[in-house]
Structure 1
Amino acid sequence: METVRTVVYLSVCLSVLASLCQGQRSAENQLIPGHDEGLMGLSNKELAEALQGFLDEADSRTGLSVEKKASVIPRCDVGERCAMKHGPRIGRLCDCLRGTACNTFFLRCY
């Protein structure tokens, strides 16, 4: 019983000590107010503009692939080809209308 009490007191003391030490920082780690110097000697505004330019360029390159992935599979009419066979796999070309299904033998909506 005495060892349990000692462990509890020790853990409380250590947690209080850790919380007190966590709030203190050295003067080197603190930010200087009004200091607008960022990475590699560039200001925060220049870094923000460079990041915006990079994001715009990346968006223009990948915009089409994102639109393709987000688009809905087109609908097929009855009798139209709805799938394509690639060896043992079947790739879907379109969705059949409600009440019809893609026949995996003929690869058409019936």
Structure 2
Amino acid sequence: MESLRAVVYLSVFLSLMTSVCQGERSSENQLQSVSDEPVFGLATNELAEALQGLLNEADARVGLSVEKKASVIPRCDVGERCAMKHGPRIGRLCDCLRGTACNTFFLRCY
């Protein structure tokens, strides 16, 4: 998560620095083709490809942490089923919102 945050901060910093540097140039000193100009020793196409690779890698890592975990119980709205009966036992489906409770007879949040 921290590496994703670092990538986002780096991309914002680079875009701000590029816009500031572009604004300070005079019209006489500007080159005709800006896309071929190296920035920090790399062409903008190479920078874009590197940034896209980092973002794809970060998305792949973040996708795994968003999946449902066994210890986290989702929240139920009022009137939704919060439990299921398995013979003599009652299994919880979700946790009721604050101020409500799971009714063990109707198995719904009230």
- Identify the TM-score tier after normalising by the shorter chain: 0.3 to 0.5
Give the structure-2-normalised TM-score.
0.36
Which structure features the higher share of helix residues? 1
Structure number with bigger Rg? 1
The structure showing larger relative contact order (alpha-carbon pairs under 8 Å, at least 6 residues apart) is 2
